[in-house]
Amino acid sequence: MRMGLLDIQLCKSKGARVVGLTSTDTKKQVALDAGADEVILYGTEWVDEVRQWSFEKEGVHVAYDSVGSTLMDSFAAVRTKGTVVFYGMAGGDPALVDPRMLMDSSKTLTGGDLWNHVTSVENRIQRAHDLFEALRAGSLKLDTVTTFPLQDGADAHRLLESRKSIGKILLIP
């Protein structure tokens, strides 16, 4: 949910229509408050719902997948010539992708690791400056932060594993 809230805001700032996917009604409302145009709950036939929601019911132009185990569902939710951006494995490893499926559907798979993009001190400083400027300007808002004393790290981990958390979880020394 944490990265998804930032994704929503960044996509909306570029003029996109955004459909989110989350696990609870509480998180659904948080995503709507962050600017999502629609939010669908896991456990439903979400791929079909996304396709029905999309322009001309052909599927979305791009799906951002940080879950991993949902990668093939993300491919099913994007239109022909659509793109899936893979950037995490919160739900486990993704299935292997058959290059023939990409060719047959004219779909693109892309992804990357932050540390391959942020490779110099200068680049980190510039990106941090851009981030803090967006925060100051109010075009990007951070979500809820839950803090735990460092000695309660096990409790923080249990909250994270429960999937009930919204926002960042910080351990304070």
pLDDT in tens, 27-69: 899 999 999 999 999 887 999 999 999 989 999 999 999 999 9
In a domain, 87, yes or no: no
In a domain, 69, yes or no: no
The model's pTM is 0.83
How many structural domains compose the chain?
2
Residues 133-168 have pLDDT tens digits of 988 998 888 777 889 999 999 999 998 888 777 778
In a domain, 75, yes or no: no
Strand arrangement, sheet containing 78-86: 60-65, 78-86, 108-111
In a domain, 170, yes or no: yes
Residues of the domain holding 160: 143-173
What pLDDT sits at residue 173? 92
In a domain, 156, yes or no: yes
What value, to the nearest 5°, has the Cα angle with vertex 109 and ends 55 and 97? 115
In a domain, 152, yes or no: yes
The residue ranges of DSSP E strands in 37-87, in sequence order, are: 38-41, 60-65, 78-86
In a domain, 60, yes or no: no
In a domain, 159, yes or no: yes
